[in-house]
Structure 1
């Protein structure tokens, strides 16, 4: 199974829970890049950008699958209502009200432009490539800037 199909299968597996979210959520990171058509070899996890309330719901609902031994790197750069969960080989990171420290201040990540994919009757919002480029540049880590460059190469 290719990586894109694996991501879609993972989202389909989670679709019942995702359909219960009260506010819009977005798929960001490598998984979003792959679903937007940028070829990557792998995606370590599925990154879900949610509201604070929806992150709290998922953290409670997915408690049995919580990865307790994980702590967020770059805590000086990112803050959110965060949780990391695992089902078999599927890792999901939930970021409620994600904020990024940029230009000497905390800025809430707001996705401005996106498209929707329907996976197992759930609408998944994915930032368009221009927006993903902006987000990766905002994050500013070497791995993010490499992904921003990959977008430029393929568009």
Structure 2
């Protein structure tokens, strides 16, 4: 995938094999990195991982030396999770264990209903299906997420698009 930056590739090449080994429950990349892997024209500043709370604990232990102890994620009033941010060569990695979203009607889990695998030089990177990515990004409601969802919608309506 020529649109994947060297920084994103370096990060994924290091973390994806570890995630396949150490995560017990299904996990996936979400946010801008997932949208880019699906083919959307978006910029990527970090890699967001949607994992279970238990797998987040495992990763926090595994990557303890890489943890950014002073980082506070934005949007605490709308998002909550077992969260940690880690420094990796390339891009930071944000782990969201048991991510929940409050859209004004109480906390609800953020789930990918259907995962697909994005192939990247031999790496199998789980990402939500295009429809799930759009649904998740739109539910977040932030301008940057709405723009990513728009880019995915354009991709989804492209006559060149194959099946998800």
Q: So what's the TM-score if we normalise by structure 2?
A: 0.85
Of 6-15 and 25-34, the range deviating more from structure 2:
6-15
Q: Distance in 1 between matches of 2:77 and 2:119?
A: 35
Q: What residue is the counterpart of 1:32 in the other structure?
A: 34
Residues 50 and 94, structure 1, Cα contact 8 Å, conserved in 2: yes
Q: What residue is the counterpart of 2:160 in the other structure?
A: none
The number of equivalent residue pairs is: 154
Residues 85 and 95, structure 2, Cα contact 8 Å, conserved in 1: yes
Q: What residue is the counterpart of 2:4 in the other structure?
A: 4
C-alpha deviation, 1:51, in angstroms: 0.4
Q: What residue is the counterpart of 1:148 in the other structure?
A: 149
Q: What residue is the counterpart of 1:132 in the other structure?
A: 133
Q: What residue is the counterpart of 2:71 in the other structure?
A: 70
Residues 10 and 90, structure 2, Cα contact 8 Å, conserved in 1: no
C-alpha deviation, 1:88, in angstroms: 3.3
Residues 22 and 59, structure 2, Cα contact 8 Å, conserved in 1: no
RMSD: 2.0
CA shift in 2, pair 1:106/1:131, >3 Å: same
SS in 1 for 2:10: helix
SS in 1 for 2:50: strand
Q: What residue is the counterpart of 1:21 in the other structure?
A: 23
1:34-113 alignment, distance < 5 Å: 34-40=36-42, 42-113=43-114
C-alpha deviation, 1:5, in angstroms: 4.8
C-alpha deviation, 1:15, in angstroms: 3.2
Q: Point out the structure with the larger strand share.
A: 1
Residue ranges of structure 1 left out of the alignment (5+ in a row)? none
SS in 2 for 1:148: helix
Q: Distance in 2 between matches of 1:119 and 1:3?
A: 11
Of 75-84 and 108-117, the range deviating more from structure 2:
108-117
